Structure 1
Amino acid sequence: MRRAEDLEGFDGEASSTSMISGASSPYQPTTEPVSHGHGLRGLRCDPDYLRGTFGRLKIAQVVLALISFICIETIMVCSPCEGLYFFEFVSCSASVVTGVLLLMFSLNLHARIPQINWNITDLVNTGLCTFFFFIASVVLAALNHNKGAEIAAVIFGFLATAVYAVNLFLAVKNWRINSRQQNTRQTSDYMRARTESREVDHRPEIQRLDG
Structure 2
Amino acid sequence: MRGAAAAEDLEGFDGEASSTSMISGASSPYQPTTEPVRQRQGLCGLRCDPDYLRGAPGRLKIAQVVLALISFICIETIMECAPCEGLYFFEFVSCSALVVTGVVLLMFSLNLHTRIPQINWNITDLVNTGLCTFFFFIASVVLAALNHKKGAEIAAVIFGFLASAVYAVNVFLAVKNWRINNRQQNSRQTSDYMRARTESREVDHRPEIQCLDG
1: CA distance, partners of 2:134 / 2:191:
39
Deviation at 1:14, TM superposition (A): 3.3
Q: When the two structures are aligned, how many residues end up with a matched partner?
A: 210
- Listed one character per residue, the Cα deviations across residues 62-82 of structure 1 (whole Å, up to 9, x for unaligned) are 000011011111111111111
> Could you say if the C-alpha distance between residues 39 and 87 of structure 1 is closer, same or farther in structure 2, counting changes exceeding 3 Å?
farther
Verify: 1:53 aligned to 2:56, yes or no: yes
Query: Which aligned segments of 4 or more residues in structure 1 are displaced greater than 6 angstroms?
Result: 4-9, 19-30, 34-39, 205-211
Give the structure-1-normalised TM-score. Answer: 0.83
Deviation at 1:190, TM superposition (A): 0.6
Give the structure-2-normalised TM-score. Answer: 0.82
- Listed one character per residue, the Cα deviations across residues 92-119 of structure 1 (whole Å, up to 9, x for unaligned) are 0000000000000000000100111111
Deviation at 1:87, TM superposition (A): 0.5
2: CA distance, partners of 1:33 / 1:20:
20
Q: Is the 8 A contact 2:47 2:111 kept in 1?
A: yes
Deviation at 1:51, TM superposition (A): 1.0
Structure 2: segments with no counterpart, 5+ residues: none
1: CA distance, partners of 2:210 / 2:70:
78
Deviation at 1:13, TM superposition (A): 7.1
Verify: 1:106 aligned to 2:109, yes or no: yes
Verify: 1:92 aligned to 2:70, yes or no: no
1: CA distance, partners of 2:52 / 2:161:
25
Deviation at 1:195, TM superposition (A): 1.1
Spell out the pairing of 1:124-143 with structure 2 (5 A cutoff): 124-143=127-146
Deviation at 1:33, TM superposition (A): 2.9
Q: Is the 8 A contact 2:143 2:153 kept in 1?
A: yes
1: CA distance, partners of 2:24 / 2:139:
75
- Listed one character per residue, the Cα deviations across residues 108-145 of structure 1 (whole Å, up to 9, x for unaligned) are 00010011111110011011100110010001001111
2: CA distance, partners of 1:90 / 1:109:
25
2: CA distance, partners of 1:85 / 1:39:
45
> Could you say if the C-alpha distance between residues 147 and 39 of structure 1 is closer, same or farther in structure 2, counting changes exceeding 3 Å?
farther
> Could you say if the C-alpha distance between residues 24 and 201 of structure 1 is closer, same or farther in structure 2, counting changes exceeding 3 Å?
farther
> Could you say if the C-alpha distance between residues 57 and 9 of structure 1 is closer, same or farther in structure 2, counting changes exceeding 3 Å?
same
1: CA distance, partners of 2:126 / 2:213:
60
SS at match of 1:101: helix
2: CA distance, partners of 1:209 / 1:101:
57
> Could you say if the C-alpha distance between residues 30 and 152 of structure 1 is closer, same or farther in structure 2, counting changes exceeding 3 Å?
closer
Structure 1: segments with no counterpart, 5+ residues: none
Q: Is the 8 A contact 2:204 2:210 kept in 1?
A: no
Deviation at 1:56, TM superposition (A): 0.7
2: CA distance, partners of 1:185 / 1:93:
39
Instruction: Choose 34-43 or 86-95, whichever is displaced more.
Output: 34-43
1: CA distance, partners of 2:96 / 2:86:
15
Deviation at 1:183, TM superposition (A): 0.4
Q: 1:161 maps to what in 2?
A: 164
